[in-house]
Structure 1
Amino acid sequence: MTTGWRALAEGLVTVRAAPGSGPAALRTSLCVLLPLALLLLTDSLALAGYAVFGAFAAVYGGARPSAGRWRVQAVAGVVLSAAVATGALAAAGGSPGLLLVLVGVLWALAAGWLSDRLGWVPPGPMFAVFAATTAASVPAGAIAGVPAGAPQVLAAAGSVTAVAAVSVLLGVLEVRRRGVRAPAPARAPSSGPRERRAHAVRVATAVALAGALAVPVAERTGTSHPSWAMVAAVVPLAVPRLAAQLSRGLLRVAGTVVGLAVAAGLLAADLPPVAIVAVVVALQAATELLVVRHYGLAMVAITPLALLLGQLAAPQPVGSLLLARLLETVLGVAVGAAVAVLSAPGVRARLRRG
């Protein structure tokens, strides 16, 4: 077996250590539980599809407490809130296909460059693209009790910003309770300006291609989630080296297939709202415990988590929803993998010679 194929195979089966993942899973689960419980009590659970993106601020800066981690999380919270707000604006503006792709591309460029510039951990623009395109996929007037237009945009922006603030606060409280365990927040390896621009362009290209292909697929299947393909296209490009990129893409697809079986059972159970909140919190904890250890296993939790939250905001027929998730994931991963292969240094050199 060649070195490249061996590295690809190892990426598929290796389970890594994840020190500090337990407290991180508890913190991020609280970041999800508190706002969902409040939305449940106020009969506003349909806003959960916006609000939960604020909880993702808690995953930035590494699992170990450090004195400056809150700053990283605050910047991430601002980015995620802005991404949801722009996505909601795009949904209110109509022409969802065109605006959806445009919003995804812009956030791929901006958050991709910012992630490389600041050395975000986890790296890449996936959460920002996910937040923006998901918000852009929610039709105007689809949120029960929230009028279309400015009220829906304000509700989206307000809910995600409030949750992001809570996530940062919980991170600060964790540092004070446990003490500083690391001298500085975790950082990804830095890169030069040229490399940052090139990486941002690669990610934006993958998002644009995936979106352009997924919009017609979404129209044929009767769903409104081409955002899933755009997010999946980012996944392979979030890690360096071609073997790791390809294994990450394969794990995304394999984990999604298993996760869809879990999601089918949960959606068929027609759970009451309080049970949905409990399941979502449990899935969030499982995601944080697994995502560093094995990305494919984490996708088994991420897939039903995303579908449950999506159904709260804009319910759709379960069968077409599951099919769309599978098709768009495969499409997005294929696009991201193709961009990864064509932009690999060795492939580029052979193309120039040929």
Structure 2
Amino acid sequence: MKMLAEMFSMALANKDHHPALRCAVGVFVPLLTLVLLGRLDLAIFASFGAFTGIYGRGEQHGTRFALQLRAGLLMLLVILLASLAARMETAWGLGSAAATWFQVLATTLVAGACSVAIAWLRLRPAGSLFHIFAFAAIASIPGQPPLWQGMLVSVLTTAFCLLIGFSSRVLPSHRTPWTRPPRIRRTPDEKRAAWLEGFGYLVAAGLAGSLATWAGERLGFGHNYWAMVAAVVPLVGHTTRHRVRRGIQRIIGTVLGLVLMAGVVLLELQPWQTVLVMALCQFGAELFIIRQYLVAQVFVTPLALISTLLVVPSSPEILLRDRIIETLIGAAVGIAVVLAPDAWRRPGQRTTAGT
């Protein structure tokens, strides 16, 4: 009963509209520019470059810039690797099935490596969820734009988000000290925790991706990387209860988000209107991501689906179906990975439900 109450509780606001507005502008301006240029095929590169603005949300300007710079460079590396991976599939002449399994393997490696990198750099949000999404989504694009164009859009969007991150310094009332974050000194326990966390991401993403791909080949659904993303959601948290709760919230929030997405589809929006909806969804996601994960997912779901539709037009009905199936698979795998260590312990050694 306590877990159910916690699942639907709302934390107090803490100026969450500030980072939410920064992130919304960081998405809206680059995407609107691409709409005006008639280059929506590059929208996905701008969308992932804009993830830079998510980091360092509550930090002072100098620290925020340093954290966002680290996060932005890591994301640019992931985007580059994804673009190269897509070209490798073409160069090797991989068939559809082989290319899908190659993407699962590569994305799994990215999941583990980026989780360790995020922990090593002490970035928040923790984990490699965004990097899994970025790598798999870009690597799975059937018709890749020229590499230099995709990377240019990503770099310019990243730079724009860095600028937004410290733009409020022009206002004396919002100005904070421009100091660098202290040098990172990692303890042996922190190093061990980072590697263990990376292994957890490797296992969860790999299992979810393999299961989703295997099931998809037989039942006719796709977008296996959505299962990989959902699988790592429960890995973030300090207690088992919190982690399991996040997995359940991911499922419920996705279902509600699909209802919102269905309404967006019925409106038959113009491209510039679609970009505006994406910015509003980004604002809503960042407004609630700390306070109520379930509510945040209501906005994240249409944001992810619209991003996919902009680059690879397809049937909205199929996307809605794939999203819920993949989320169920991924969340179930993630919760199982969280509970597995406790299940292997002897009854007398198991932790309580609140751990």
TM-score scaled by structure 1? Answer: 0.88
The range that moved more, 204-213 or 119-128, is 119-128
2:227 is aligned to: 229
2:94 is aligned to: none
1:291 is aligned to: 289
Mapping for residues 129-278 of structure 1, pairs under 5 Å: 129-139=132-142, 141=143, 146=145, 151=146, 153-177=147-171, 178-180=174-176, 192-220=190-218, 222=220, 224-278=222-276
Shift, 1:86, TM fit: 1.5
Q: For residues 184 and 18 of structure 1, what CA distance do their matches in structure 2 show?
A: 27
Q: For residues 184 and 61 of structure 1, what CA distance do their matches in structure 2 show?
A: 13
Question: Could you say if the C-alpha distance between residues 87 and 222 of structure 1 is closer, same or farther in structure 2, counting changes exceeding 3 Å?
Answer: farther
Shift, 1:107, TM fit: 1.6
Contact 1:246 1:337 in 2 (8 A): yes
Shift, 1:38, TM fit: 0.9
Pick from 113, 117, 138: which aligns with 1:114? 117
Contact 1:90 1:136 in 2 (8 A): yes
* Cα deviation digits, residues 166-205 of structure 1 (max 9, x gap): 1111112234532117977699x98521121111101110
Stretches of structure 2 lacking an aligned partner (at least 5 in a row): 90-97, 351-355
Shift, 1:326, TM fit: 0.4
Amino acid across the alignment from 1:53: F
What's the secondary structure of 2:134's corresponding residue? helix
What's the secondary structure of 1:93's corresponding residue? helix
Shift, 1:339, TM fit: 0.5
Pick from 37, 54, 79: which aligns with 2:32? 37
Question: Could you say if the C-alpha distance between residues 182 and 205 of structure 1 is closer, same or farther in structure 2, counting changes exceeding 3 Å?
Answer: farther
Q: For residues 65 and 301 of structure 1, what CA distance do their matches in structure 2 show?
A: 27
Question: Could you say if the C-alpha distance between residues 196 and 71 of structure 1 is closer, same or farther in structure 2, counting changes exceeding 3 Å?
Answer: same
Q: For residues 25 and 185 of structure 1, what CA distance do their matches in structure 2 show?
A: 23
What's the secondary structure of 1:68's corresponding residue? helix
Stretches of structure 1 lacking an aligned partner (at least 5 in a row): none
Amino acid across the alignment from 2:70: V
Contact 1:223 1:316 in 2 (8 A): no
Contact 1:64 1:182 in 2 (8 A): no
Q: For residues 30 and 242 of structure 2, what CA distance do their matches in structure 1 show?
A: 35
2:15 is aligned to: 20
Q: For residues 349 and 31 of structure 2, what CA distance do their matches in structure 1 show?
A: 56
Question: Could you say if the C-alpha distance between residues 326 and 195 of structure 1 is closer, same or farther in structure 2, counting changes exceeding 3 Å?
Answer: same
What's the secondary structure of 2:126's corresponding residue? coil
Q: For residues 183 and 85 of structure 1, what CA distance do their matches in structure 2 show?
A: 31
TM-score scaled by structure 2? Answer: 0.88
Q: For residues 219 and 323 of structure 1, what CA distance do their matches in structure 2 show?
A: 15
Contact 1:17 1:292 in 2 (8 A): no
Shift, 1:289, TM fit: 0.7
Amino acid across the alignment from 1:331: I
Contact 1:342 1:348 in 2 (8 A): yes
The range that moved more, 190-199 or 113-122, is 190-199
Percent of pairs identical after alignment?
32
2:72 is aligned to: 77
Pick from 53, 59, 69: which aligns with 2:54? 59
Contact 1:236 1:337 in 2 (8 A): yes
Establish whether residue 337 from structure 1 lines up as the match of residue 335 from structure 2: yes
* Cα deviation digits, residues 45-73 of structure 1 (max 9, x gap): 22212211111111111334332211110
Contact 2:249 2:294 in 1 (8 A): yes
Mapping for residues 86-105 of structure 1, pairs under 5 Å: 86-94=81-89, 95-105=98-108
* Cα deviation digits, residues 236-269 of structure 1 (max 9, x gap): 0022211000000000000000101111121232
Q: For residues 12 and 181 of structure 2, what CA distance do their matches in structure 1 show?
A: 19
Q: For residues 122 and 20 of structure 1, what CA distance do their matches in structure 2 show?
A: 17
Q: For residues 270 and 161 of structure 2, what CA distance do their matches in structure 1 show?
A: 26
Contact 2:61 2:165 in 1 (8 A): no
* Cα deviation digits, residues 12-59 of structure 1 (max 9, x gap): 122112313111111111101110111011001222122111111111
RMSD, aligned CA: 2.5
Q: For residues 223 and 175 of structure 1, what CA distance do their matches in structure 2 show?
A: 48
2:93 is aligned to: none
* Cα deviation digits, residues 120-149 of structure 1 (max 9, x gap): 11111111111111112212x2x6xx4xxx
Q: For residues 182 and 239 of structure 1, what CA distance do their matches in structure 2 show?
A: 31
Q: How many residues align?
A: 337
Contact 2:20 2:286 in 1 (8 A): yes
Question: Could you say if the C-alpha distance between residues 42 and 245 of structure 1 is closer, same or farther in structure 2, counting changes exceeding 3 Å?
Answer: same
